[in-house]
């Protein structure tokens, strides 16, 4: 996504400056474009977070299954049942 060449501010800073009438970084259209770019970036980060969280949950389930499998193998080898941890 191409960024505007003007002063870069976050969405809250831009909103504050617009409310106070102090933003001299460009036109209202440019301000709107900056906000849309930041919203798109936020959404992208949110989607990536959700994907990573889902992967963590999946890996935790795999770890739990592997631990159970190791306990079974240990029981077969030693003939003793292990306490679940």
Per-position DSSP letters for 25-62, written without gaps between them: SS-HHHHHHHHHHHHHHHHHHHHHHHHHHHHHHHHHHH
Looking at residue 53, its pLDDT comes to 96
The whole-angstrom separation of Cα 64 and Cα 46 is 27
Question: In this structure, how many other beta carbons lie within 10 angstroms of the beta carbon of residue 31?
Answer: 19
The pLDDT-based confidence of 70 (bands split at 50, 70, 90) is very high
Q: What are the tokens at 77? A: 């080898």
By mean pLDDT, which of 11-25, 38-52, 69-83 is the weakest? 11-25
pTM: 0.57
Q: What is the pLDDT of residues 19-61, one digit of tens each?
A: 888 777 777 888 888 888 888 999 999 999 999 999 999 999 9
pLDDT at 52: 96
Name the residue with higher pLDDT: 53 or 15: 53
H or E stretch including 84? none
The token duo for 82 is 């292990």
């Amino acid at each position: 996504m191409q960024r505007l060449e003007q002063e870069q501010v976050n969405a809250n800073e831009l909103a504050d400056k617009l409310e106070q009438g102090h933003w001299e970084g460009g036109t209202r259209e440019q301000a709107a474009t900056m906000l849309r770019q930041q919203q798109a970036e936020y959404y992208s980060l949110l989607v990536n977070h959700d994907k990573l969280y889902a992967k963590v949950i999946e890996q935790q389930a795999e770890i739990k299954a592997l631990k159970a499998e190791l306990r079974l193998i240990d029981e077969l080898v030693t003939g003793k049942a292990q306490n679940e941890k």
